[in-house]
Structure 1
Amino acid sequence: MASETTTQAPPYGSTATPNTSRASPTNVLPNTSTASPTNVLDRIAAADLISTANHVYAFLAAAALMASCFLIYHFVRTYGAQRRAAWPDRLLWAFSCIQLLLVLFSFYNVAHRPHSLRTTPLSCATLAFVINLTSLCGLLILALIAYLLALDPPLDFLLRRPGVSAALLVPTATLISLILAGIRGPRDSLQRETDCFMDPVQAGVSYAVAKLCLAFLAPYILQIAIVLSGCAKERNSKGRFLLGKKESSMYLSVNAVLFFCHLFYNVALVRAARQQTRGELSHRERAFISIAELVFFAGSGVSLLLVLITSKPSREKLSGLFGLIVNCCPRVHKHAQPNRNIITPHIEITDTLQDIES
């Protein structure tokens, strides 16, 4: 008697084959007896596209890790010399650490590309909660930086105290993350291993729309409200109050990168969730949402590089390091040729008594 075969559609981004009674050992390509050649070619093309995007992101993540190490080293040296860091420097350091955590969290799926991490639904939901919490903390810190640049509060203001800022920021981000976790929820058996994604399309359109509104639109609407309040306060400055601050270029560039990366990912998630309700996603659509997830994490990597380049103290420290390296190059070249004698012409001009009197 022939054994019965059961098929289950893999989630987006996964190149795993349908579950059969005799699965392929590599679990990459489906059995040719049950899949058409066109389907096999589409699956291979989607896997190649995900792998190419993964390689590009790997180089970006490596550069971001190097930039974050330099930023942390610079902050530790500055804090050790001054014994006390200013409030903007603390916000910048906290933002850099949060973006570093997001880059590290991205390795949960990058390391398994073009496949996906397999774990229990409860562990996957916990990982998604931590990622949402970290991302929200980073966006809320940008809102604090906008408040500093736009409204310029006095030195004795409560939000300038790190404890007060953390007590306001962390519970807000935790509450929003808990709401998203409740909507997402582990929908399968808690002990059965499955493919893990930060935001699976199987969670439904309600979860995708809730994340778009709570984890993306709400923080940026808050920032827009703060900037408009600063415009109302500084009417005589003709809208140039934000451009006059030394950290404004860093804030604007980082905020623009994160905005477009998060917008791209959230729109792609809502689109994929809607298509999932109409029918099964194609291989190219699964590859697209997987690449969109890499774009989400790429925003954190680019932000670290922009902080290193646009922040004035870090840029000056980096320029000094490059200058030191350049100055060491002639010394190495000189020691490499010890027998070469270079005679420098020496011209001495002397004035006679007649020239001085004339």
Structure 2
Amino acid sequence: MTSHNMTWIKYPSKEFIEFEDIIRSQTIISRFMHVYIALLVPTSLVAGTFNLITFIKKRTMLGKPDLYLLDLTVTNLLVTLFSFTATTRPDYILTTNLSCGVLSFFFNICYFNAQYIQIAILYTFLFQDYLPCLRMVTLIEKPLGNLSLVFACAFSSSLVGVMLLGIAGSLLKSTLCQVDPLTAWPEYEIVKFSLGFGVTLIIEVVFFTLLIGKLVQRNAPPQKDKSTYLVMLTITLIMFACRLFYNIMLLNRSRLKLQRDNGSPRDELIMNTAELVLFGESCASNLAILFLHKPCKLALSNSIRNLTKRCRREEETHNSMPL
């Protein structure tokens, strides 16, 4: 139980040692934060909102993949909103353990939901294309049932994470907070890695490989379905690239805790950078849906075309007015 006593742990930037390293790391993370807030946050919100409006307008014509991508779009928007908790970097939010636990719980629901929804999409595609005889014994014909199951799994995984925060006896104690609390037990990072990346990665690699094999076959999906396959494969690669770095740093943080080591300012800098990369995943996913998913891509083209026509019409009207 000695590893569960986390009163000794502190952020390296709060120990007032190695001043030059602390100032250097804080300067770097502050610049990264400015870039993220100035570029990625507005892009993610605009692209995600546009995708959401498109899905809502076409709600009567949404297919199964569309419903899954709608769920992913909402999740990405929520993650972008949660990322505002990092605007204080290089400092951290000062709050109570209870509030920090609530923040971590709801963020992790989005974190696990985005991962599990990909498994649901890949699973649906595989059973629809490879094993159509088993459709009747699955929830494939009921996408809302699949979404409910995904949310239940994400909720349960997040609940397990909260149980490993170790805040039961000090809910009203003040603490420095981020979406993955530093004072959590080492098991928190290990379980989050296992449930949110390790196990799901094995499943996704199998499904991803089978889908690649499906696409290169002669009986590949018809042209109208290729955009859905393309956007899903792209999002899978984006999520893997962003979460690989993030989960490596989670495991590194767990290793430091087990060694009762606060780490260095460099470790803190890399962990904060990994957190921003994770937040940036939602922006990249929203852009992938916008530019690769056929309904959203057509809606964007029509919007640009209508805007261009309106601007030309106003310009012609202005030029035709007598001086």
TM-score range relative to shorter protein = 0.7 to 0.9
Matched residue of 1:159: which SS? Answer: coil
Q: Give the Cα–Cα distance (whole angstroms) in 1 for the partners of residues 287 and 216 of structure 2.
A: 34
Q: Give the Cα–Cα distance (whole angstroms) in 2 for the partners of residues 131 and 164 of structure 1.
A: 23
**Deviation (angstroms), 1:235:** 11
User: Considering only aligned residues, what root-mean-square deviation do their CA atoms show, in Å?
Assistant: 2.9
Q: Give the Cα–Cα distance (whole angstroms) in 1 for the partners of residues 222 and 254 of structure 2.
A: 38
CA contact (8 A) 1:121 1:188 kept: no
Of 106, 121, 141, the residue aligned with 2:117 is 141
Residue by residue over 1:57-113, the C-alpha shift from the partner in whole angstroms, topping out at 9 and shown as x without a partner, is: 11201111011111111112112xxx3522221111111111111111111222x22
Q: Give the Cα–Cα distance (whole angstroms) in 2 for the partners of residues 55 and 150 of structure 1.
A: 42
Q: Give the Cα–Cα distance (whole angstroms) in 1 for the partners of residues 219 and 197 of structure 2.
A: 25
Matched residue of 1:248: which SS? Answer: helix
Match of 1:171 in 2: 152
Match of 2:303 in 1: 321
Of 62, 73, 77, the residue aligned with 2:42 is 62
**Deviation (angstroms), 1:230:** 5.9
Shift in alpha-carbon separation, 1:122–1:205, aligned structure 2, 3 A: same
Q: Normalising by structure 1, what TM-score?
A: 0.76
Of 63, 82, 98, the residue aligned with 1:105 is 82
**Deviation (angstroms), 1:229:** 5.8
- Larger RCO, structures 1/2 (Cα 8 Å, 6+ apart): 2
- Structure number having the greater helix percentage: 2
Q: Give the Cα–Cα distance (whole angstroms) in 1 for the partners of residues 78 and 236 of structure 2.
A: 18
Of 75, 79, 90, the residue aligned with 2:67 is 90
Indicate whether 1:214 and 2:195 are aligned: yes
Match of 1:247 in 2: 228
Match of 1:75 in 2: 55
Residue by residue over 1:254-310, the C-alpha shift from the partner in whole angstroms, topping out at 9 and shown as x without a partner, is: 111111111110101212332342533222221111111111111112111111111
CA contact (8 A) 2:245 2:274 kept: yes
**Deviation (angstroms), 1:116:** 0.6
**Deviation (angstroms), 1:227:** 4.2
Matched residue of 1:119: which SS? Answer: strand
Shift in alpha-carbon separation, 1:339–1:227, aligned structure 2, 3 A: closer
Shift in alpha-carbon separation, 1:278–1:336, aligned structure 2, 3 A: same
Q: Give the Cα–Cα distance (whole angstroms) in 2 for the partners of residues 312 and 61 of structure 1.
A: 24
One-letter amino acid of the structure 2 residue matched with residue 62 of structure 1: P
Matched residue of 2:94: which SS? Answer: strand
Matched residue of 1:174: which SS? Answer: helix
Matched residue of 2:164: which SS? Answer: helix
**Deviation (angstroms), 1:137:** 1.3
Q: Normalising by structure 2, what TM-score?
A: 0.84
